[in-house]
Amino acid sequence: MCFAPPARIVDLAPGRATVEREGARFDVSLHLLDRPVAVGDYVAVQAQRYAVAWLSESEAEEARMLYRQIIESIEA
């Protein structure tokens, strides 16, 4: 099973977006999405390369909480 942490879109270019997660910015491909996205939208990102799903703000927050719990359990 893979976990695709959420990131917020901060800039768009054809087929690509700059996203931000936990203060880090990086570029991702949008070619796997089945809907258009806009600056401010959240996407699930795999391998820090591919946006694989659009997320609502509440879905993104829930995923961030789960991600934090996973990290905390690993560090414990």
Q: What is the mean pLDDT of residues 46-52?
A: 92
Q: Does 1 score more than 60 pLDDT?
A: no
- Rounded distance between C-alpha atoms, residue 70 and residue 61, angstroms: 14
Predicted local distance difference test score (pLDDT) of residue 42: 97
pLDDT tier at 9 (50, 70, 90 boundaries)? Answer: very high
Q: Which two tokens stand for residue 30?
A: 């949008």
pLDDT band at 76 (very low <50, low <70, confident <90, very high): confident
The model's pLDDT over 17-45, given as tens digits with 9 standing for 90+, comes to 999 998 999 999 999 999 999 999 999 99
The rounded distance, in Å, linking the Cα atoms of 14 and 63 is 27
Tell me the pTM. Answer: 0.87
Domains delineated in the chain: 6-75 (2.30.30.140)
Residues facing residue 18 across a β-bridge: 11, 27
